[in-house]
Amino acid sequence: MKKIIALTILLAALTSCSNSDTYQDIQTPQTGTNPGTDPTAAITYTKTVKSIIDGNCISCHSSSGSASFRPLTTYAQVKTAIETAGLLTRIQLQNGQQGLMPQGGRMSQANIDLIVKWNTDGLKEN
C-alpha cells in the first residue's frame, strides 16, 4: 500500500511539472525598463552612469583621491574624460594591461557595456 501511495505521489509530481516556454522563448532575450537589459533604452549619466562611476572611480578620482588631477565627480568631468582622456579605452583594457582603470581590477563587463552605450547614445545627462 505504501508503494502505491508513493508511486501515485511521484507520478502526480512528474506530470504536474511542465514548461510552456518554447525554444524561441528561451532564445529571445526578454527586455524590460532596466537600461541594462533593454538594448533600445537610452542610457543617461544621471540614471545609469553616475552610480557606476561613483562605485568604481570616485575613491581615486575625487578632490581627496590619488587621482585628484582628473576628478570624475560631475557629469561634465566624466563626459570630458570620455571625449579627451581615453576613459573608454582604459576601462576596456584587460586585467594586467598597463593603464587599466580602475586600478584595483576591471569593472564588470555589464558596467563597461553601459558606459560604452552611453557614449554611443550621445553622452546624455538626464
pLDDT of 90 > 60? The answer is: yes
* Per-residue pLDDT, 28: 34
Could you say which DSSP state residue 25 is in? H
Give the three-class secondary structure for 103.
coil
pTM to 2 decimals?
Answer: 0.69
Integer angstrom CA distances of residue 8 from 16, 17, 18, 72: 12, 15, 18, 64
Query: Which residues fall within 8 angstroms of residue 88, CB to CB, at 6 or more apart?
Result: 82, 115, 116, 119
As a whole number of angstroms, the distance between CA 81 and CA 76 comes to 9
Q: 111: closest CA among 89, 95, 91, 96?
A: 91
**How many angstroms separate the first and last alpha carbons of the chain?**
68
* Per-residue pLDDT, 1: 75
Mean of the pLDDT values across residues 34-58? Answer: 86
CB 66 within 8 A of CB 60: yes
Domain ranges of the chain: 32-120
**pLDDT interval class at 7 (50, 70, 90):** low
